[in-house]
Amino acid sequence: MRPLIVANWKCNPSTFAEAKKLFIAIDKGAKGKKAAVVICPPFVFIPGLSALRGSFLKLGAQDAFPEEGAFTGQVSIRMLKQFGCEYAIIGHSEKRALGETNEIINKKIKACLDNAIIPIFCIGESGKERKEGKTGEVLERQLELGLKGISKFRIQNSKLIIVYEPIWAISKGKDWNACDAGKARQADVLIRKIIAKLYGKLAGDNVRIIYGGSVNPDNALEFIEKAKMDGLLSGAASLDAKKFIAILSKF
Ligand code: PGA
């Protein structure tokens, strides 16, 4: 399967001129590579980048609000779709840290599926939870509540992407630690087991799971080959065209 490489630009870069430069450099470097690439810029850059987009890079948002109307500061799924967004990152730990609950995440995932936007659903434990041996419990709760009320048929037939992103492995975190391919592999197996328990073996076997957390050109291949992940979510490295293209060139 083609690995899926997602660039999460977070709240970067500061100007549209820089965003455009980065996007064009990635577009050029990504052509002809095996990986499928999704760029998730800040909302305000989406229309401008959408106009520049060829057929190779896909666009995603870093969030997607399920409703329209009196919701100050939100951007709806329909608004995003107009500008060619096909994906949305939902439940990133940095959003959860700002108060996003499993219930809100669940509403957003459902709305994405209803509107044919592919949710890139982030789950992962904190360093403290891992030390306390709670990784399995945390992942199970996040999956169960995040996917609550979504039918087996829907899960089996959707292109849902789950991201295993341990909070302790995200770059610039205060209790940072490297996540190796072995730990990522264990998480992949665990997530498939939980999905199988919730939705049956077929769904557990087929769901796409990618890894996020300090992905760089040196570790990218291990997460795909040894950890058997279906792709990667890259933050810091995706802001550096050379590094990001070096990651894509590994496949
Ligand atoms: P990182 O970020 O690659 O800089 O660790 C990944 C993410 O938080 O999505």
Q: How far is the CA of 177 from the centre of ligand 1 (A)?
A: 13
- If you take atom 1 of ligand 1, which residue's CA is the nearest one? 235
For residue 180, the model assigns a pLDDT of 96
**Residue 120 counted as domain residue:** yes
The domain in which residue 143 lies consists of 4-11+56-63+74-248
For residue 28, the model assigns a pLDDT of 94
For residue 237, the model assigns a pLDDT of 98
Active-site annotation holds for 94: no
**Residue 118 counted as domain residue:** yes
Active-site annotation holds for 125: no
With a cut of 80, say whether residue 51 has pLDDT above it: yes
Give the DSSP H or E segment for 52: helix 46-52
Spatial distance between the Cα atoms of 227 and 250, rounded to a whole number of angstroms: 15
**Residue 183 counted as domain residue:** yes
Which residues does a 6 A CB cutoff place in the pocket of ligand 1? 8, 165, 170-171, 212-215, 233-237
Question: Does the predicted TM-score (pTM) go above 0.85?
Answer: yes
With a cut of 90, say whether residue 52 has pLDDT above it: yes
For residue 173, the model assigns a pLDDT of 81
For residue 140, the model assigns a pLDDT of 98
**Residue 80 counted as domain residue:** yes
**Residue 98 counted as domain residue:** yes
The model's confidence at residue 219, banded by pLDDT at 50, 70 and 90, is very high
Please provide the DSSP assignment of 85-145 as one string.
Answer: EEEEEES-HHHHTTT--HHHHHHHHHHHHHTT-EEEEEE---HHHHHTT-HHHHHHHHHHH
**Residue 35 counted as domain residue:** no
For residue 53, the model assigns a pLDDT of 85
Tell me how far apart the 2 most distant CA atoms of the chain are, in Å: 48
With a cut of 80, say whether residue 55 has pLDDT above it: no
Residue 76 DSSP label: B
Q: What is the total count of domains within the chain?
A: 1
pLDDT in tens, 185-205: 999 999 999 999 999 999 999
Ligand 1 atom at minimum distance from 170 CA = 5
Q: How far is the CA of 166 from the centre of ligand 1 (A)?
A: 10
7 Rama sector, left if φ>0, alpha if ψ -120 to 50, beta otherwise: beta
Q: Which candidate in 18, 67, 92, 125 is catalytic?
A: 92
Q: How far is the CA of 171 from the centre of ligand 1 (A)?
A: 6
Residue 2 DSSP label: P
CATH number at residue 188: 3.20.20.70
**Residue 172 counted as domain residue:** yes
Q: How far is the CA of 214 from the centre of ligand 1 (A)?
A: 6
**Residue 34 counted as domain residue:** no
